[in-house]
Amino acid sequence: MIDIRDMDRNYAKKILDKYEDYQWSVQGFGMLRAYLDPEQIFRIHVWIPSVLRVDQVSDLHDHPWDFQSKVVWGELINRRYEVKPNPLGVHRRQLMQPGVGAKLIGDPQPCDLLQVQEETYFTGGFYSQKADEIHRTEVPTTAISIIKRRFRKTRERAYTFHQGGRPWVSAKPRPSNHEEVKKLLTYITPYL
C-alpha cells in the first residue's frame, strides 16, 4: 500500500472506477465509505452530505484510533473541541461502541465543549488527529478523503457528544449494495 500522502485524485478515481471490488457502507455523517485493505487501516470516504447525512445526527465524537487524513478532492472542514467537565453543561458526553454495531454504553455525563481549532482543507490537504481529540467534520458540498488508522489497544470504545435536552442520533454505518453505490457515485465522479 502506498503512503497516504501519495494518494491523490487519480488514486481515488481508480478505486471508484472499480467500486464493485469493495464492500461499501453508508455512514450517517454524510459519507459512503469502503476499506481498502484487509487490515482495515486505509478507508476511502466519499462525502455526499446533501444526500447521506442523517437529520440531526450527533456528529461530535472522538475515536478509538489515531488517524491521518488526506483530502484527495474537494473541501473538508475539521473542527476540534476540548471537553470541560460541568455538572450543568449544555452537552452530554457518552461512551459508545462505534462502527457497524454502534451503541451507547452507560449514562451520559454533562459537560461543555469549547471549539479550539477550525481547519479547512482543500484537494491535497493533509492532517492528523489523536484518538482522544474531539472533532466534527463538515463538507460544504462533496469531497473525497482517505484515512489511515493507527489502532490503540482498545479498538472498540469512543465518546460521542450531543446537546442536552436532545436525543442522541446515531451515525451508525449500514451496508450499501453496488446498485446504490453506482447511483451515489453519480454525484461525484463527473468532477474527477
Q: What is the predicted pLDDT for the residue at 154? A: 66
pTM (predicted TM-score): 0.93
Question: Could you give the C-alpha distances from 73 to 7, 45, 110, 145, 188, in angstroms and in order?
Answer: 11, 11, 37, 7, 10
Q: What is the predicted pLDDT for the residue at 1? A: 57
Q: What is the predicted pLDDT for the residue at 99? A: 75
With a cut of 50, list the residues of the chain below it in pLDDT: none
CA-closest candidate to residue 98, choices 45, 153, 172, 32: 172
40-91 tens-digit pLDDT: 999 999 999 999 999 999 999 999 999 999 999 999 999 999 999 999 999 9
> Where does residue 154 rank: exposed (0-12), middle (13-18), buried (19+ CB within 10 A)?
exposed
Q: Are strands 65-85 and 103-122 parallel, antiparallel or unpaired?
A: antiparallel
- Long-range CB contacts (within 8 A, 24+) of 12-21: 12/44, 12/72, 12/73, 12/144, 12/146, 12/192, 13/189, 13/192, 15/44, 16/46, 16/185, 16/188, 16/189, 16/192, 19/178, 19/181, 19/182, 19/185, 20/178
Q: What is the predicted pLDDT for the residue at 127? A: 97
CATH class belonging to 4-191? mainly beta
Residue 174's DSSP bridge partners are 26
Q: What is the predicted pLDDT for the residue at 190? A: 86
Q: What is the predicted pLDDT for the residue at 155? A: 62
For residue 170, which amino acid is it?
S
The answer to whether the CB of 71 falls within 8 A of the CB of 121 is: yes
